[in-house]
Chains A and B, each alone.
Chain A
Amino acid sequence: MNFFSFSRLMRRSPFWSLIFWAAVWELVGQMGWMTLLPPLTDIWFAFAELFKQTAFWDAFAMTARTFGIGLGLSIAVGIPVGILMGISNRADKILSLWVNLFLSAPITAVIPALMPILGIGDATVIATVILFSIWVVIIDTQAGVTHVKDSLVEMGRIFGCSRWKIIFWIIIPSALPEIFTGIRLSVVRAVKGVIVGQIVIALIGFGGLFNTYLSYFLMERFWGLIIVVFIMSFTIIGLVEMLERRIAFYAKTR
C-alpha cells in the first residue's frame, strides 16, 4: 500500500483513521516513553474498573442531573425570552446587549464567583450549564421570530386571530427550524458547561474524579474517564442532530 492510497483511505473512512491513531497510541504507550500516556489496552481494562466504582456512578448521576436541569431551564426560559425579544422592540432594546455580551463572554471565568454565592454542589454546576447554554437559545429563537414573514402575521390578523393564537399558530411554527438549531447548539454548550463547571470546582462529580485520578497518578482511569465523557457528549449531540434532521423539512419548504 503506497502512501497516497493510505491517506485516501484515512480520508474516506473515519473508522480507519480511528483505528490508525488508536494503534499509534497503543504503540507509544507500550514504549513507555510517557508516564502520562498509558497504552490504550490498559485504559480499556480501566473502563471495567471505572464502572464498578460507586464514585463513578455518583459522579455520573450528578452530571446527568445537573446537565438535565440546567439545559431544561435554559430551553424553558430561553425560548420565551427569545420570542419576547423577537416580537417586542422594547424587550429587544433592554436585553439584546446582555444576551450578546454573555453569548461570547468567557463564562468559565465567572464560575469561581458563583461558588461563594451558590455553594459547592449542584446549584453551581446547574448555574454554569445555564450560563453556557441559554444565550444561544435566546439568540436563535429571536432570529427565527424576526424572520417570520410579515404577510403570515398579517394573515393571522385578517382572520381575527388573537395575539396568542398568532404566537402559537404562526410565529412559533415558523421559527421552529431556528429554535431547533438553537437547542442543538445549546446542548453542545451545556455538555461543555457541565464538564467545565465540575472541573473548575474540582471537588464534585467528574471534576472531583479527574482531580483524584490525576493526584494519585491513576492515568488509565483518568483517560478512561475522558473517553467516557467524550462518548457521552457525542451520543447526546448525535441524538439531537438526529432529531433536528427529522424536522429539517420545514426549513426547505419555507
Chain B
Amino acid sequence: MKNGSDSTEIILKTEDIGVTYQESIVALKNVSLNIPAAKLTAILGPSGCGKTTLLKVIAGLIDPTSGTVKVRGKEIVGPGPDRALVFQDFALLPWATVLQNVGFGLRARGVPKKEREETSLNYIREVGLQGFEDKYPHQLSGGMRQRTGLARALTVNSDILLMDEPFSAVDEQMRRKLQEDLLNLLKIESKTVIFVTHSIEEAVYLADQVVILSGRPGSIADIVYPEIDRLGEIELIRRQPRYMELVDEIWSSLKRYVE
C-alpha cells in the first residue's frame, strides 16, 4: 500500500483549494488532497501555515476562495452530517453537563431525549468518562474535556471525524494517553479521521497518511505514508525503527519552512 489511494476508496477529495483573506493575504494555495476512507490522515505543518484553515474548509465552516471539497463525489456546501469536528479548545457549553454536552449534536438533530441520552451514555463509556456524566466542564481536567468533545463528535455517527489539534491543550502524559486511546477507539469505530497537528511525532504515531504543508501560503509540500504496523501492541509503535526514521525524515523536509 505504497500509495494509500490505490487500494482504498477515496471518501473525501479537495480540489485546488485556495483561501485568500481580505483580498491579499493568501492562507492556502492549490491544495488538492485525497482522503482514503477508514484511514487516519494527519495534516502537519508549522504554525500559521493554514492547516486549521484547511480543516475548517473541509468542515464547511470556511468557504474557500477557489476550489471545491467533495465527499463521495458530491460537492459540499457548508457543514454536513457526514463530518463531525473535534475542537482544539474543546468548545464545550460551560452551563451543560457532560451528558448534555455529548448529546448536543443529537439534540440539534431533534433526536428525542431518551434515545439521545442512551446513545450519549454509550459513547461516554467508550471514551472512558463513565461516572462523570453529571459533571460540568469546569470540574473536568483538560484530557476529560477533550474526551467529552470526542464523545460528542462520535454520537452523531459521521463517517468522517475532523480533529483540530485535539491534544495540543493537554499536558504531555495526557496527550500520550489520549493518542493511545484514540488508536484503540478507531479499532472499534471505523472512521475516516483527518487531524491537524504541529507535532511530527504525533503525526507519525497516529497517521496512515501524513500531509505536510509548507509555510505561507500553505500548500502541499509532501505526502508521507508511515506504514507503521498498528495491529499489535500500540505501546510498541514508538520503538519501531521505521517510526524513528520517519520522524527524522519529516523533520528534515519540514525544517526549511520553519523560520
Contact = CB atoms under 8 A, between A and B. Distances in A.
Q: Which residue of B56, B95, B109 has the most chain A CB atoms within 10 A of its CB atom? A: B95
Interface in A139-177: 149, 151-152, 154-161, 165, 169-170, 173
Interface of A: 149, 151-152, 154-161, 165, 169-170, 173, 250, 252-254
Contacts of B156: 159
Contact of A155 (B83, B91, B109): B91
Given A165-B108, A253-B138, A157 B79 contact: yes
Interface SS of A by simple majority = helix
Interface of B: 56, 59-61, 78-81, 83-85, 87-89, 91, 93-95, 104-105, 108-109, 136-138, 152, 156
Given A154-B87, A158-B105, 13 more contacts: A149-B89, A151-B87, A151-B88, A154-B91, A155-B87, A155-B91, A158-B83, A159-B105, A159-B109, A160-B79, A160-B105, A250-B95, A254-B94
Contact of B91 (A149, A165, A253, A254): A149
Q: Which residue of B79, B83, B91 has the most chain A CB atoms within 10 A of its CB atom? A: B91
A133 B150 CA distance: 44
Contacts of A157: 60-61, 78-79
Contacts of A154: 56, 61, 85, 87, 91
B172 to A, nearest CB: 23
Nearest to B95: A173
Contacts of B60: 157
A158 B79 contact: yes
Nearest to B96: A173
Contacts of A173: 93, 95
Given A149-B89, A154-B61, A253-B137, A159 B108 contact: yes
Q: Which residue of B59, B61, B81 has the most chain A CB atoms within 10 A of its CB atom? A: B61
Nearest to A252: B138
8 smallest A-B Cβ distances: which pairs? A159-B105, A155-B91, A253-B138, A151-B91, A159-B108, A253-B94, A158-B85, A161-B108
Contacts of B56: 154
Contacts of A149: 89, 91
Nearest to A151: B91
A64 to B, nearest CB: 33
Given A158-B61, A159-B109, A152 B95 contact: no
A29 B109 CA distance: 72
B136 A253 contact: yes
Contacts of B108: 156, 159-161, 165, 169
Contacts of B85: 154-155, 158
A52 B208 CA distance: 86
Q: Which residue of A154, A156, A253 has the most chain B CB atoms within 10 A of its CB atom? A: A154
Contacts of B94: 250, 253-254
Nearest to A161: B108
B59 A158 contact: yes
Contacts of A165: 108
11 contacts: A151-B88, A151-B91, A154-B85, A154-B87, A157-B60, A157-B61, A158-B84, A159-B109, A160-B81, A173-B93, A253-B137
B91 A160 contact: no
Contacts of B83: 158
A174 B164 CA distance: 23
